[in-house]
Amino acid sequence: MTGYEREYNLRQLGLMLKTIEEYQGGLQTLRATIKKLEDLSGCLIKPFPTWLKEFQSTWGMLEDTYAVMLYEKRTHLNNEEQEYVDNAISKLTPLVQSEINKLKKDKVES
């Protein structure tokens, strides 16, 4: 990975963290969070396949829950769904942060 690619990915990952924080702070909807995380992960240059697979699996928890809510023509998550979403979000934060830390470490070593 080139220095440019590393810096680019660090920016995208930083935006992912910001997106998660905005959702947790009530500043954006679950729908917007899902879309932004999908877009940002799709923009990553040469992401590590194992990391991307884990990210997509955890992100998928959000998407699946939201899809059920829409299918049932509801506008809000029920308590169980909210807990499930909160659990997924709590997994995404350290997952994204670990990738940031890895890229920063790689930057220092190169």
Helices (H) and strands (E) in the chain, counts: 4, 0
- Other CB atoms within a 10 A radius of the CB of residue 27 amount to 12
**If you ran DSSP here, which 8-state letter would residue 25 be given?**
T
Reply yes or no on whether the pLDDT at 28 is more than 70: yes
**If you ran DSSP here, which 8-state letter would residue 42 be given?**
H
Residue-level pLDDT at 46: 92
pLDDT in tens, 32-53: 999 999 999 999 999 989 999 9
Residue-level pLDDT at 100: 94
Both structure tokens of 92? 């995404």
Contact of 12 with 40, CB cutoff 8 Å: yes
Average pLDDT, the chain: 93
Question: Nearest CA to 89 among 24, 14, 11?
Answer: 24
Work out the average pLDDT over 82-89: 95
CA distance 53 to 8: 20
